[in-house]
């Protein structure tokens, strides 16, 4: 058991070292100008070790997004019986804003902003992010129901959430702090989810 724990800790340390080294290099030289070999060297591991942890440079950057693909569907699945899907997602988004959760776009930690800036500035990463959002809508649609109305509703919900996230990110990248943006982010979220309720 202790050996397994030590092994897992070592894996986590290696993954973190690769991620931190890569982000620093990407920010300094640009995503397309940094090779896997350079990342591995900066993290003091082999190129093969890099590929044991990440299939590609793109996966290293946008991998954390994939961890949240199923969030909207899970929130709807776990909601109280008397709570609507929109109300559950609204409640959860507001809680995320209050916690400055990166998944809401309202997190001004330097490493998070560095990654977000990379995604926005690099077409291949932007495309990967869009693919994740599309998958998010598909999972939510499957949770809502089986016909076209549910797919349309899921697309609207995910689209509204992404608009809120993007607005928060843009404000932070422009220099606002998360605390400064918070009241506006809450007001925007309330307005967006009210629009969803009216439309759905």
pTM for the model: 0.85
Q: Are residues 102 and 167 in the same domain?
A: yes
Range of the domain at 12: 2-54
Q: How far is CA 123 from CA 76, 135, 193, in A?
A: 32, 19, 29
Q: How far apart are CA 195 and CA 72, in angstroms?
A: 18
Q: Are residues 155 and 84 in the same domain?
A: yes
Q: Are residues 37 and 92 in the same domain?
A: no
Of the three residues 34, 54, 74, the one that is the final residue of a domain is 54
pLDDT at 62: 83
Of the three residues 19, 36, 54, the one that is the final residue of a domain is 54
pLDDT at 3: 64
The total of structural domains in the chain comes to 2
DSSP string, 145-174: -SSHHHHHHHHHHHHHHHHHHHHHHHHHHT
Q: Are residues 40 and 70 in the same domain?
A: no
Model confidence over 113-159: pLDDT tens digits?
988 888 888 898 888 888 888 899 999 999 999 899 999 999 999 99
pLDDT at 135: 92
Instruction: Give domain status of residue 138, yes or no.
Output: yes
Q: Are residues 33 and 75 in the same domain?
A: no
DSSP string, 114-136: HHHHHHHH-HHHHHHHHHHHHHH
Model confidence over 8-66: pLDDT tens digits?
889 989 998 998 899 999 988 999 999 999 999 999 999 999 999 999 999 898 877 77
Q: How far apart are CA 200 and CA 191, in angstroms?
A: 14
Q: Are residues 71 and 49 in the same domain?
A: no
Q: Are residues 83 and 142 in the same domain?
A: yes
């Amino acid at each position: 058991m202790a050996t397994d724990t030590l092994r897992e800790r070592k894996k986590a340390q290696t993954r973190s070292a690769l991620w931190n080294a890569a982000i620093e290099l990407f920010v300094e030289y640009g995503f397309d100008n940094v090779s896997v070999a350079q990342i591995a060297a900066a993290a003091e591991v082999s190129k093969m070790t890099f590929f044991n942890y990440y299939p590609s440079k793109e996966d290293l950057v946008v991998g954390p997004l994939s961890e949240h693909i199923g969030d909207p569907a899970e929130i709807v699945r776990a909601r109280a019986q008397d709570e609507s899907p929109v109300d559950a997602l609204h409640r959860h988004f507001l809680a995320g804003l209050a916690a400055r959760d990166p998944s809401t776009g309202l997190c001004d930690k330097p490493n998070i902003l560095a990654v977000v800036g990379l995604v926005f500035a690099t077409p291949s990463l932007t495309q990967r992010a869009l693919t994740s959002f599309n998958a998010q809508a598909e999972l939510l649609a499957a949770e809502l129901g089986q016909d076209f109305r549910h797919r349309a509703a899921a697309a609207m919900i995910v689209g509204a959430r992404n608009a809120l996230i993007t607005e928060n990110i843009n404000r932070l990248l422009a220099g606002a702090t998360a605390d400064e943006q918070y009241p506006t982010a809450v007001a925007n979220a309330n307005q967006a989810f009210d629009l969803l309720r009216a439309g759905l």
